[in-house]
Amino acid sequence: MLDEVVISRAILQRFYEKLSENLEADVAIVGGGPAGLVAGYYLSKSRKKVVMFERKLSIGGGMWGGGMLFNEIVVQQDALPILDELQIRYREFQPNYYTADSVEAVSTLTSKASKAGLIVFNCMSAEDVLMRKDRVTGLVLNWSAVEIAGLHVDPLSMRARYVIDATGHATEVVHVVRKKVPGRLLTESGEIEGEKSMWSDRAEALTLENTREVFSGLYVAGMAANATFGGPRMGPIFGGMLRSGKKAASLILEKLDTQAGEGS
C-alpha cells in the first residue's frame, strides 16, 4: 500500500535536510550552465562542499540548444581533455573543430557533477549577496516562482567562503555587487566593462583570461567573465566555457587549500 501523506512527508523531510545542511558551503555557484557545472564538478571532486543555485527547472543553461536550436555543440582541441575526463563523446569535424551531442553533453556533465558531490537547487534564484567587510560572503535566495510572479516574499540566505557568478550573459551577481560598491570592481574601470560583439576566436581566449576574482570572495566564470571584463561573445562554441569552469575551480581550490594550510 502506498500512502500519499508518507510520500509527501518523505519529500519534505529530505528536502529540508538537504537545504538545511547546505546553508553553509565552501563554494556557492550561481547558474547551472556549462561553466558553472564544470566548476562544480572539479570543486566537488576535490571534496569541497559546493552548492549550485539555478533559476530554471533544468540546468544546462545555453548548452541544450547548441546553435539556434540545432542541438550539436562545437568544442575545440584544447578543451578535449575535459570531454575525455567526463566521458562525453565527440567527433572531429575538421582539425580543431569537434562536435558533441548537446543533450549528451549536458546530461553527462550534470550526472558526473552530481555524483562527485555537487548539490543543486533548481528553481532558486540568487537575488542579492551577503557582504561583510567589503567581501562577498554568501547569497540571498528566493524561489524563482516568487521572482517570476513578482510576489512580495522575503528571501532566505546562505553563507559561502567563495561565490562564483556563472550566470552567463546577464552576469547577475556582479551587477548586484556593483550597485553596492560602484567603481570598486577589480576591472580596469572598476565597473562592469560589458560584453562586446561576437568574435569567436578572441572570445574563447579571453573567457579563460577573464575568469578570475572580480571582488573579494566573488569569481566570474563562463560568459559572465567576458561580460564583466569586456570580452566579446563567442557563439555556440563551448571549449572556453568548459575551460573557464575548470579554471575558476582551480583558482578557488588554491585559495581554500592555502587557507587550510594556514589553519584558518
By the criterion CB under 6 A, which residues form the site for ligand 48F? 30-36, 53-56, 61-63, 125-126, 166-168, 170, 172, 222-224, 233-238, 241
**Beta strands 213-215; 218-220: pairing state:** antiparallel
**57 vs 260 by CB, closer to ligand 48F:** 57
Supply the minimum distance, in Å, between the C-beta of residue 160 and ligand 48F: 14
CA distance 175 to 196: 17
Q: Do 32 and 54 meet the contact criterion of CB atoms below 8 Å apart?
A: yes
**Looking at the chain, how many residues does it have?**
264
- Quote the least distance from Cβ 13 to ligand 48F, whole Å: 25
What phi and psi values does residue 184 have, to the nearest 5 degrees? -120, 15
CB of 239 to ligand 48F, least distance (A): 9
Which residue, 184 or 233, is less far from ligand 48F as judged by CB? Answer: 233
Tell me how far, at minimum, the Cβ of 21 lies from ligand 48F, in Å. 20
Give strand ranges (E) for the chain: 24-30, 50-54, 72-75, 91-94, 97-101, 119-122, 124-132, 135-143, 156-165, 213-215, 218-220
Cα three-residue angle 134-172-232, rounded to 5 degrees: 110
Between 141 and 261, whose beta carbon lies closer to ligand 48F?
141
Smaller CB separation from ligand 48F, 30 or 185: 30
Angle, CA 239 vertex, CA 237 and CA 241 arms, to 5°: 90
Is 32 strand, coil or helix?
coil
> For residues 47 and 93, which CB has a smaller minimum distance to ligand 48F in the complex?
93
Under a CB-based contact definition with an 8 Å cutoff, are residues 253 and 198 in contact? Answer: no
Q: Which is nearer to ligand 48F, 49 or 55 (CB)?
A: 55
CB of 181: closest distance to ligand 48F in angstroms? Answer: 18
Angstrom distances, CA of residue 253 to CA of 39, 69, 178: 10, 35, 25
Q: In 103-126, which positions are buried (b, 16+ CB within 10 angstroms) versus exposed (e)? A: eebbebbbebbbebbbbbbebbbb
Q: Counting beta carbons within 10 angstroms of the beta carbon of residue 25, is it exposed (0 to 12), middle (13 to 18) or buried (19 or more)?
A: buried
Nearest approach, Cβ of residue 200 and ligand 48F (Å): 8
Cβ 83 to ligand 48F shortest distance, Å: 15
Residue among 33 and 138 whose Cβ is closer to ligand 48F: 33
